[in-house]
Amino acid sequence: MKEVKVAKSAGFCFGVQRAVDMVYKEAAKADNTDRKVYTLGPVIHNEQVVSDMENAGVYVIEDTDSIEDGTDTTVIIRSHGVSKDVIDHLKAKNVKIVDATCPFVSKIHHIVEEKYNEGYNIIIVGDAKHPEVEGICGWCKNSAYVIGSVEEAEKYNSHRGEKLCIVSQTTFNYKKFQDIVDIFLKKSYDILVMNTICNATEERQTEACTIARQSDAMLVIGGKHSSNTQKLFEICKRVCPNTYFIQTLDDLDWNKLQSFRSVGITAGASTPNNIIKEVQSYVRYEQ
């Protein structure tokens, strides 16, 4: 039997659990009725959860043009949030809107909108192609400058003395955010820094790094499109070369783990607890 340590912070965070609960609540309300329930994009980045939601009668649509007008339709805004224009478009269609945006993401929307109206240029530290960042951009009329690396921060050059408001994608690597902010602080700008990385993300990343240092091998469980899981993998891989990214137990190559005495396990914020427990049990008892 192997020594297995599972991160206490692994699995659904508050925002994801809230969003998932809201989806199933709307599915229950629509059961045995003609009401159609959709999520605008996958409510979370986990294929197994999204598939289960479809079985419950909740389907993913990718854009507002696909939504029929009318009060017999419910549209759920996913945990990553959307732009103000998308909200306005849905209101014009007269559909029922259920906003499952993570409260930490909604907070960024309010900050960006307020500071943009006050004359600040908005800098978002994050992945420009991630739906959360795309949504945030929509609260400052898509004028934000998105920076995802130290190299991009070093290349940034604008008018001296301009006002900058720097925010972060909630799941961004905390150390990388600090490094990027340090570069901006060395430039002659009027800077307002808002660390909008959620506390759960910081805790999850710190704990994952600690466990990875103490383990012969590390398993990071999560959806292949999950930004926060990818960042956990990168953090663990730097301190534990034998780190593996899997979505479910089916992706686990047991031959790679057989020679290791201790195995650490963490999981992204969109990973259900049953998947984590299944991997944990298999690794601990498989010989």
Answer yes or no: are the C-beta atoms of 123 and 177 closer than 8 Å.
Answer: no
Q: Work out whether the CA dihedral 80, 83, 86, 87 comes out positive or negative.
A: positive
Q: Work out whether the CA dihedral 82, 88, 90, 96 comes out positive or negative.
A: positive
**Any idea what DSSP says for residue 144?**
P
Answer yes or no: are the C-beta atoms of 116 and 140 closer than 8 Å.
Answer: yes
**Coil/strand/helix, residue 271:** coil
Nearest CA to 113 out of 80, 142, 139, 137 is that of: 139
Cα 66 to the center of its chain, rounded Å: 24
Catalytic residue selected from 26, 68, 132, 152: 132
Q: Active site includes 132? A: yes
Question: Helices 47-55 and 14-30: crossing angle, nearest 10°?
Answer: 20
> Which amino acid, residue 150?
V
Answer yes or no: are the C-beta atoms of 7 and 265 closer than 8 Å.
Answer: yes
Answer yes or no: are the C-beta atoms of 162 and 115 closer than 8 Å.
Answer: no
Q: Distance (Å, rounded) from C-alpha 286 to C-alpha 281? A: 8
Residues serving a catalytic function are: 132
